[in-house]
Chain A
């Protein structure tokens, strides 16, 4: 079935061996990021590297990209052992890397950003040839069949455009190995599709593609072979046919998950949150729904369907133009987050690094932020109470950390998200609005986040859940309402939900979907 590293792969590969990495070790201070990393990449294959956050995937990518240097191990490219000392050398070896977070210069133009990935063209006077820079940029863009304005400053591009630019930059005529480090996070369905086409084309030209990710549906649609790493060690490698999503997850987290998204059955109580005719010009209109205590209401829709805006409206972050918010049977006016918090509403925002946590501060600082006035003694902040709050949440939510004093920036994505959750749970809310709470976190952390959410529902909280991962939304919600371009669609009340019908309703591929 699967091949244990060290043994010879018995599977047929499309091409010759291009890159072979073995016995890789990398330590950062006291932390070992890679204990024993190995991977073989063949020409013309799409190879998926799977693993949870902290499995050492990004470190492996950075080593191949020449950004960090390994402490031990061999890297063989095209039959010769190499040391990759810097990004330029990596590029010269035909390795192109698309980093997870765009590595762009916001104050420079599209053309200049492409220039920095390439050899800069000079004119006879020894100055940059802007014509050459422009021509190179246009040429690079035709490889992907996209056309951005070369003279536009990168800071004016959308995040999807920036991600595309990142891929444009990475590809060159000499690309022999293309590494994509979770490239689809910021892309829309259409853009993912065009990316898949590019990958297919490059593959047919004999380029090896290393696809790093944890979106299993994409991996299974794309990959020829799969390597799973856990805790810095390569666990298995083998053809994709040998894996199922379940077995891949099992390898990634190291234990069989009975269910990745646990669902605890709760008998819902009385209706606690109700919105009637909620409208905000240009964002959403005439939204009606109600949620009971102990119930999880899922809002399904594409990015831009107005779900986040509705959440922001209820929490008082944006003004609403019309409609009513009724909490506990009483109509309330919410003009600001402070109003919302007074009515027991907590909102965990979509973009946790921008709106959720202060990265450069400790867990303790972040957790006490929302409730600092309750942690005082004689009018001053009580260090004991402050610390007590953090310690109790670290324990309750299973935040993996060295202690309350650790900076949030040092935590993994999943643990950062738990800090955000803890911050809002500390306000002791009755209503919890979660906006994409598992964005960018791995399967294990997702599972834990939803376990926490289920516990909250059990405790009688009223929960509104927004997620771009339909699978998760359907697994966790008691009821689902769809949205399409700011309009409310169908309501689905019976579990298990029919994913295709929900999808059809949120994309309006079917004009009238009846509520079931």
Chain B
């Protein structure tokens, strides 16, 4: 109703105070220091082991990290909303057996149908998580810890002592993850496509920004009229759907599916996501960070394997390197932060 004189001025002509240059912005980005950590690790392992810097080995690393990225994207969405999903290991396990068993028992079923069915089952499992969290307001850590056991229990009951092996599966099923394009394995291509879509969603859509916003300040989201419940539910469903897809890939990649598939995998995924800078307090993080986080964990795991670290010590050293990488990352960020503060005052 009221037009102010000032607003008639074209916005482009306005002078903006202390605007940052593009380069400075890159250095302030959370992911920049993580990429530096990743590069440092690659250089370190290349020096320590001549076999590390080879095409075959990099193929191994990207294959290894792909399932973590796929599941990690769903978990990141949940973390953005200031919730957590620790049930992914069991969701992957249950859907992996379901999909492999379905395909083995119905060899004529088109593979796409198996994939969709597995994703749908994952979606239902995620919807159970999300429904309880969003409507009953039970803390998500409790809900998903509970379903971690429930879903694993269903998996065990379903699978019993049976296992599905590569021989029971169709050739298409067995190669769904391992076909290559320009040397990149298919499983990595899936991860990149999903990451690309997720990135555009989070960065460039109103819905994506709403998801981050409600995690950043739930109270403000309520006052701004953001439908928080719906987004929280949606994030959990997505986490389930991606776990369902990862379940199919798991069977294809490892060739053996029994009731213990992906046990403990939820912690690997959470580690990658958190190393990748996604805040457990919600509202902060990026899909790029998830990829870098998964890459850092894979580089460490494979690098240490090539160094012939004793099996007994492997896990301890792996943990040590992760902590060291994070300390290095925080060190870099503090320096950037100090500089930023210096520039402001």
Interface positions of A (Cβ within 8 A of B): 65-67, 86-88, 94, 99, 102-108, 112, 115-117, 120, 122, 126-128, 130, 134-135, 138-139, 142-143, 145, 147-151, 173-176, 201-202, 205-207
Contact A138 B212, CB 8 Å, known A103-B219, A120-B206, A143-B4: no
Bound-state Cα–Cα, A67 to B225, Å: 8
Bound-state Cα–Cα, A197 to B17, Å: 22
Interface size class of B (residues with CB under 8 A): 35 or more
Contact A104 B220, CB 8 Å, known A116-B213, A128-B204, A151-B25: yes
In the complex, which residues 216-266 of chain B have their Cβ closer than 8 Å to any Cβ of chain A?
216-217, 219-226
Contact A173 B16, CB 8 Å, known A105-B283, A112-B209, A128-B205: no
Q: How far is the CB of A137 from chain B (nearest CB, A)?
A: 8
Interface string of B192-219 (1 = CB under 8 A from A): 0000000010001110011011011101
8 Å CB contact of B14 from A105, A147, A149? A147
User: Does B20 reach chain A (CB closer than 8 Å)?
Assistant: yes
Contact A149 B217, CB 8 Å, known A135-B12, A138-B11: no
19 more CB-based (< 8 A) A-B contacts, given A103-B223, A105-B221: A67-B222, A102-B220, A103-B224, A105-B213, A105-B216, A105-B220, A106-B283, A107-B212, A112-B209, A126-B205, A127-B200, A127-B205, A139-B7, A142-B6, A147-B15, A149-B19, A149-B20, A173-B3, A207-B2
Residue of A94, A105, A115 with most chain B CB atoms under a 10 A cut-off? A105
The chain B residue with its CB closest to the CB of A137 is B11
Contact across chains for A206 and B205 when beta carbons are under 8 A apart: no
8 Å CB contact of A106 from B19, B25, B216? B216
User: Does B18 reach chain A (CB closer than 8 Å)?
Assistant: yes
Q: How far is the CB of B20 from chain A (nearest CB, A)?
A: 7
Bound-state Cα–Cα, A238 to B137, Å: 45
| A99 partner residues in chain B, CB cutoff 8 A | 223
The chain B residue with its CB closest to the CB of A206 is B2
Contact A149 B205, CB 8 Å, known A107-B284, A108-B216: no
Contact across chains for B14 and A138 when beta carbons are under 8 A apart: yes
User: Does B167 reach chain A (CB closer than 8 Å)?
Assistant: no
Contact across chains for A176 and B4 when beta carbons are under 8 A apart: no
> What is the interface of chain A mostly: helix, strand, loop, or mixed?
loop
The A-B contact count (CB < 8 A) is: 108
| B18 partner residues in chain A, CB cutoff 8 A | 149
Bound-state Cα–Cα, A120 to B226, Å: 13
User: Does B55 reach chain A (CB closer than 8 Å)?
Assistant: no
Contact across chains for A149 and B283 when beta carbons are under 8 A apart: no
Contact across chains for B16 and A105 when beta carbons are under 8 A apart: no
8 Å CB contact of B1 from A86, A87, A135, A206? A206
Bound-state Cα–Cα, A315 to B1, Å: 55
8 Å CB contact of A128 from B4, B11, B209, B226? B209
User: Does B310 reach chain A (CB closer than 8 Å)?
Assistant: no
Contact across chains for A173 and B220 when beta carbons are under 8 A apart: no
Q: How far is the CB of A354 from chain B (nearest CB, A)?
A: 17
| B216 partner residues in chain A, CB cutoff 8 A | 105-108
| B215 partner residues in chain A, CB cutoff 8 A | 107
Interface string of B1-43 (1 = CB under 8 A from A): 1111011010110111111100001000000000000000000
Contact across chains for B2 and A151 when beta carbons are under 8 A apart: no
Bound-state Cα–Cα, A151 to B16, Å: 10
Contact across chains for A66 and B225 when beta carbons are under 8 A apart: yes
Q: How far is the CB of A81 from chain B (nearest CB, A)?
A: 20
Contact across chains for A108 and B212 when beta carbons are under 8 A apart: yes
8 Å CB contact of A87 from B16, B206, B213, B225? B225
| A139 partner residues in chain B, CB cutoff 8 A | 7, 11
